[in-house]
Amino acid sequence: MEKNNCDMTTHLHLGHQKSESDSTMCGCEDAVVCVRDVCFSYGTDPVLEKISFCVPDQTLIGVIGPNGGGKSTLMKLILGLLKPQKGQIEVFGTPATKLGRLRSFIGYVPQRFDLDWRFPATVWDIVISGCFTKVSPFQRISGERKARARHLMAMTGVDQFIDRPIGQLSGGQQQRVFIARALVSDPKLLVLDEPTSGVDTAGQVQFFELIQTLRNELKLTMIMVSHNIGQLIHYSDYLACLNRTLHWHESSKGLDVHLIEQVYGCELREYLKRQE
């Protein structure tokens, strides 16, 4: 991990050194996402302050933090939907807001939204829509892509629902359909925004197993926002603890309860005990 020598001014994870003089933006040679000194505010309220980190290739970054801590804002910044007021964000070495065609290398799984249960689309329509922006308006979708879509549906376990209207699936099933959809365009980076919210404990365990399988098989870099700290610490390489400022934590060092408490600003011991 030493080669991922990032400039992280605020993270607590020691062992990396500041490298202002580096020619690349943050000094990471194979970083997929580089965030440097980013500040963002809606109006006068600062949401993010001096955020710096980078996501090395083929790692899973768990993003945790209290509601209103800036998690979704950070995701939007990485996805190029918002522009930072200060600092820079690079994805695949290009500024996030100027990704253009590179955008199709980002897969995105939205937070569960209230999908109209009569929305006129089958599971297949949703999954195949993942490559819509990769084909021109009158081009037919190739057999190769369709085969990939079928393979991904089998991997995510939604192949038996192929002809069912998307609105008639349960929340957890819909979530897996949207993961298959995000993977159809063969992305290098997968961003998941609170994918397990509203899913029961058994479902969450299954979900993280699926993420692990996908990660190993497809060699993906992942950023996942979740409230499930217990599972995240187990499956992720790094934890980004976000509450306006960023605390970076290496997952292999185990769960640092003090850090989590500092981020969430409350006693967590009791909560974690109950979770266990």
Partner 1 sequence: MIQGIFEQFYRDVTTLPILMRGLQAAILISIVCSTLSVFVVLKRLAFIGEGIAHSALGGIALGVLLFVSGPMVQQSLGRQLGIDLTTMIFCVVVAWLIGWTSRKRIISEDTAIGIFFVASLALGIVLISLRKEYTAELFSFLFGSVLAVGMFDIYLTIVLAVVVLLAVIFFFRPMFLFCLDEELAGISGVPVGPIHYMLLTLLAVTVVVAIKILGVLLVAAFLVIPGAAARLLTCRYKHMFLIANLIGLVGVLGGLILSDVVEDLPSGPTIVLGEFVIFVLAVGWSHLRDRFFPGRQLALVGSGVVLGGYIAIFLAISAFSIAKPATARTNSIQTKSTSIDQSDWDFFIHSLKNENYSSLIRKIDSDARFVELLARRIRTLPIEQEEKQQLLDAIDTMDWASVPRTIVKKLEEER
Q: How far is the CB of 123 from partner 1 (least distance, A)?
A: 11
Which of positions 123-142 make contact with partner 1 (CB under 8 A)?
Answer: 125-126, 129-130, 132-133, 135, 137
For residue 91, which phi and psi values (nearest 5 degrees)?
-120, 130
Per rule CB under 8 A, is residue 120 in the interface with partner 1?
A: yes
Residue type, position 31, single letter: A
Give residues 182-211 in contact with partner 1 (rule: CB under 8 A). none
Rounded (5°) CA angle 112-116-119: 115
**Contact between 168 and 121 (Cβ < 8 Å):** no
- Region near partner 1 per CB under 8 A, out of 113-121, 200-208, 236-244, 267-275: 113-121
Q: With binding defined as CB under 8 A, does residue 74 bind partner 1?
A: no
- Which CB atom, from 1 or from 135, has the smaller least distance to partner 1? 135
Q: Identify residues 145-184 at the interface with partner 1 (CB under 8 A).
A: 164-165, 167-168
Of 29-37, 58-66, 112-120, 231-239, which part binds partner 1 (CB under 8 A)? 112-120
CA proximity to 38, closest of 53, 28, 18, 25? 53
Q: Tokens 């029961």 correspond to what residue?
A: 200
CB 223 within 8 A of CB 235: no
Which is nearer to partner 1, 138 or 273 (by Cβ)? 138
Bridge partners, 123 (sequence order): none
Binding mask 75-104 for partner 1 (x = CB under 8 A): ----x-x-------------------x-xx
- The nearest distance, CB 53 to partner 1, in angstroms, is 21
Cα–Cα distance, 178 to 184 (Å, whole number): 10
Q: Which of 44, 118, 217, 276: binder of partner 1 (CB under 8 A)?
A: 118
Q: Which is nearer to partner 1, 186 or 261 (CB)?
A: 186
55 binds partner 1 (CB under 8 A): no
CB 95 within 8 A of CB 270: no
Residue from 122, 206, 245, 262 that binds partner 1 (CB under 8 A)?
122
DSSP label at residue 98: G
Residue 118 amino acid letter: R
Phi-psi region of 246 (alpha: psi -120 to 50; beta: other; left: phi over 0): beta
Find the shortest distance in angstroms from Cβ 211 to partner 1: 19
Strand partners, 246: 242
